[in-house]
Structure 1
Amino acid sequence: MRSPRRTGSPPGEPRRIAYLYLLPGFLVYAAFLLYPLLRSVQLSFYDWDGLTLGRWIGFANYREIVSDEGLRAAFGHALVLIVFFAVVPVCVGLVLASILNRAKVRGLPFFRTVVFLPQVVAMVVVAVAWRRVYAPDGSLNALLGALGLDSLQRGWLGDYALALPAVGFVGTWFETGLVTVLLLAGMSRISGDLYEAARLDGAGPVREFFAVTLPSVRGEIAVASTLTVIAALRTFDLVYVTTGGGPGTSTSVPSYEVYHRAFELGRVGSAAAVGVTLTVVILAISLLINWIGDREAAS
């Protein structure tokens, strides 16, 4: 007696098909990201100038990151930029998005486009424009002079104390629009019934914000924080165009140190160690932000 014909796919066939679809993308990912990353890890254990034969030195390049005052300062500057690129834009974006969402401003799509506009401009273009703004004869000093505040005029990017905050302010201007748009999208999905229930309980605008709005956009805050923190830690073009790491080393950051050591000092191994360390720091902070966001959402 002939056995009935089986219908449907064999066990495991859908999984194999999925792997076949994912394989080309994974190969591209491995060729352009995983391999260079692993190669950088390998080079970080060598003293190599990029031309002659490298010499194995173990963890000496990583020990230099801890012992070298300039490299420690560069990572410290990156942490300062996190405040300007991430903390301030998230706080300002929360306030702006909450006001715009509550007020139901007319022409909101146009406003979203305007505040998001810096994101579509290349950072090099942004840096060139702001370098001109901060110049001794630039528009910022001209504005201060017109207001009678001549004593505040200075070469902003040449001031040891103010150069890093000046660069950080550009990051705040650049990232605030992105954060505001992300938070506006999250707030638009909040049910009006939640606000109505809060008002029936006697909640005012501030209490509504902390009781309804803020908990409802934790996911968007986590995404915005992750994107802006990564932008702060890997910023290179902004620093390179505006200050070149100066004056002195007051605005040097890890990504600039990678370029400086590899292409100007010929210390490719040291540059690779800085790059690997920066990658680990970015990954650790991103995982921490997402862990905190998931934990808050679960609670």
Structure 2
Amino acid sequence: MKAPARAAGRYRRRAPGRPRAVGYLYVLPAFALYGLFLLVPLGQTAWLSLLHWDGLTAATWAGLDNYKGLLTDPSLRGPFLHALFLLLFYAALPVALGLLLASALSRFRLRGATFFRTVLFLPQVLAMVVVGVAWRSILAPDGLLNDALTAVGLESLTRSWLGDYTWALPAVGAVGTWVETGLCVVLFLAGTQRIPRELYEAARMDGAGPVREFFAVTLPGLRAEIAVALTLTIIAGLRNFDLIYITTGGGPGNATSVPAYEVYHRAFETNEVGSAAAMGMGLTLLIFTLTVAVSRLVEGRNR
């Protein structure tokens, strides 16, 4: 009788909802894969960032010199500034346009709304290489955009969009806006469906118009979806590589170079593996910091 009593006492002492040790065995395979394919390469990258290495000869100790270069070398600091600028196009504009379109589609019954949502979401299912090739053709000096401007009498606005030092980065950013807006619209449309209709009816009874209804009901109700959209678009904007590689190759000069492209350039073209690894770690830290900030901001407002 003592053994069953001791076992019963052990189970009673476990806090309600506390997992048993065997539960960790279920997540062990996933954690092992996560560690093998993410944590181990991340640790190797952190080690390489502390070395001077060209990828072939023996490496020498660099300490924090590669990280100091991120702050002092304009050719290393510039890509991070470009990435932060692109967040306006990859995150801010898509979220704003997504909120506007989702509010209109949920408020008004429009014919062909399903087709409209499908067309908006289409860029998400296209490979970014395909997107880059298509838009490189559109933005070429003899491309569709310049032809359209010429056709409507705005020939003075035509230019080599991807070869202009001033307009190359905004042109790439505009492509990012086109890609990410559909994702935001779909997320926000799903969120508006869970907002109680009674809130809209109460707002209309109080005399609220479309604008006041949006700020009083729709925007607070979509706080969680906005956090998800911002997280996804910020990550997409900061790790942008294939679009830059296909459209501009970081040019003209370094006008469109971003951290992900610069990591590739330094590691495989100029054989500066240590510097590339330091830039990769800096990019990882930046993504982590911004995504945590977005999550904390939303959690703080939900309390």
Q: TM-score, normalised by structure 1?
A: 0.95
SS in structure 1 of the partner of residue 224 of structure 2 = helix
For 1:69-218, what aligned pairs fall within 5 Å after superposition? 69-218=74-223
Cα distance, 1:18 vs. partner? 1.6
For 2:112 and 2:213, locate their aligned partners in 1 and report how far apart those are by CA, in whole Å.
24
1:288 aligns to 2:293 (yes or no): yes
SS in structure 2 of the partner of residue 157 of structure 1 = coil
For 2:3 and 2:62, locate their aligned partners in 1 and report how far apart those are by CA, in whole Å.
68
Residues 28, 137 of structure 1: alpha-carbon distance in 2 compared, 3 angstrom cutoff = same
Cα distance, 1:52 vs. partner? 1.2
SS in structure 2 of the partner of residue 37 of structure 1 = helix
| Equivalent residue in structure 1 for 2:39, among 34, 39, 42 | 34
Superposed CA deviations along residues 235-259 of structure 1, whole A, max 9, x for unmatched, are 0000011000000000000111100
Aligned-pair identity (%):
58
Cα distance, 1:144 vs. partner? 1.0
For 1:65 and 1:143, locate their aligned partners in 2 and report how far apart those are by CA, in whole Å.
42
| Residue matched to 1:228 | 233
Cα distance, 1:112 vs. partner? 2.6
Superposed CA deviations along residues 180-215 of structure 1, whole A, max 9, x for unmatched, are 100110011111100111112221111111001100
| Residue matched to 1:245 | 250
State the one-letter code of the partner of 2:23: A
Superposed CA deviations along residues 39-88 of structure 1, whole A, max 9, x for unmatched, are 10010000011111110110000001111111111111001100000000
Cα distance, 1:137 vs. partner? 1.1
| RMSD between superposed Cα atoms in Å | 1.8
State the one-letter code of the partner of 1:152: L
SS in structure 2 of the partner of residue 15 of structure 1 = coil
Structure 2 unaligned residues grouped into runs of 5+:
none
For 1:49-64, what aligned pairs fall within 5 Å after superposition? 49-64=54-69
| Residue matched to 2:277 | 272
SS in structure 2 of the partner of residue 246 of structure 1 = coil
For 2:19 and 2:95, locate their aligned partners in 1 and report how far apart those are by CA, in whole Å.
42
Cα distance, 1:110 vs. partner? 3.6
State the one-letter code of the partner of 2:64: F
Q: Which moved more, 1:15-24 or 1:271-280?
A: 15-24
SS in structure 2 of the partner of residue 16 of structure 1 = coil
For 2:297 and 2:3, locate their aligned partners in 1 and report how far apart those are by CA, in whole Å.
55
For 1:138 and 1:205, locate their aligned partners in 2 and report how far apart those are by CA, in whole Å.
40
For 1:290 and 1:15, locate their aligned partners in 2 and report how far apart those are by CA, in whole Å.
29
For 1:187 and 1:264, locate their aligned partners in 2 and report how far apart those are by CA, in whole Å.
48
State the one-letter code of the partner of 2:255: S
SS in structure 1 of the partner of residue 257 of structure 2 = coil
| Equivalent residue in structure 2 for 1:47, among 29, 45, 52 | 52
For 1:18 and 1:108, locate their aligned partners in 2 and report how far apart those are by CA, in whole Å.
45
For 2:3 and 2:86, locate their aligned partners in 1 and report how far apart those are by CA, in whole Å.
69
Work out the number of aligned pairs and report it: 297
Q: Which moved more, 1:199-208 or 1:153-162?
A: 199-208
Q: TM-score, normalised by structure 2?
A: 0.94
Cα distance, 1:265 vs. partner? 0.5
